[in-house]
């Protein structure tokens, strides 16, 4: 008897024309991403610049006289002063040189008015320390990352500044 030929049929996988789960997931994610990108592109946002409260002056103290602890003494006297403003001393360090005879107040922001001039914070600190206008400077910082309002370079006259601040306390 002749041997029967086995009928081997090739099974074809029928591909459905509907996308299936993976297809739907890809379509859903694509739509989600497009909507997200469009919403981000169409949303206008305001950039708000945070300004320090008007009652707080951010200070940098630089020891320019070479006396150990001079910046710390001035910082303590400023914090204890009966000032109407609060001082946020964000940096106490040494100046690059130690030959400052007089204490300097450096305005790091300048006035907000078109005419320029000194900021209210720098003028206030100069008056508080009894510093003349010849010792008040404007030197704006291009990269003021610490948001410093005023820098004080402590000179050899720091004891006179301390006396001014401590006399105010008494």
- Give the CATH number, domain containing residue 99: 3.30.70
Q: Could you tell me where the DSSP H helices lie in 5-103? A: 20-42, 70-80
Number of independent structural domains in the chain: 1
Domain boundaries, position 156: 56-169
Is residue 149 within 8 Å of 119, Cβ to Cβ?
A: yes
Could you give the CA distance from residue 162 to residue 37 in angstroms, rounded to a whole number?
A: 59
pLDDT 10s per residue in the chain (170 long)?
Answer: 566 555 566 666 666 566 678 888 999 999 999 998 888 888 766 554 555 456 888 999 999 998 999 999 999 998 888 778 888 999 999 999 999 999 999 988 877 666 668 888 888 999 999 988 889 888 888 888 888 999 999 999 999 999 988 886 55
Residue 81 lies in a domain: yes
Residue 92 lies in a domain: yes
How does strand 150-154 pair with strand 56-63?
A: parallel
Residue 149 lies in a domain: yes
Residue 134 lies in a domain: yes
3-state secondary structure of 128: helix
Residue 23 lies in a domain: no
Q: Could you tell me where the DSSP H helices lie in the chain? A: 20-42, 70-80, 120-128, 158-169
């Amino acid at each position: 008897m002749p041997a029967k030929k086995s009928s081997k049929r090739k099974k074809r996988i029928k591909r459905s024309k509907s996308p299936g789960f993976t297809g739907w997931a890809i379509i859903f994610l694509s739509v989600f991403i497009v909507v997200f990108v469009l919403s981000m592109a169409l949303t206008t946002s305001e950039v708000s610049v945070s300004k320090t409260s008007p009652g707080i002056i951010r200070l940098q103290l630089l020891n320019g006289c070479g006396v150990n602890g001079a910046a710390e003494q001035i910082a303590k006297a400023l914090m204890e002063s009966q000032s109407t403003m609060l001082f946020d001393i964000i940096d106490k360090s040494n100046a690059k040189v130690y030959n400052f005879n007089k204490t300097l107040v450096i305005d790091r922001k300048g006035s907000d008015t078109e005419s320029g001039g000194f900021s209210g914070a720098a003028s206030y600190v100069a008056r508080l320390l009894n510093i003349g206008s010849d010792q008040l400077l404007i030197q704006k910082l291009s990269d003021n990352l610490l948001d410093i309002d005023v820098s004080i370079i402590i000179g050899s006259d720091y004891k006179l500044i301390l006396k001014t601040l401590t006399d105010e306390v008494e």
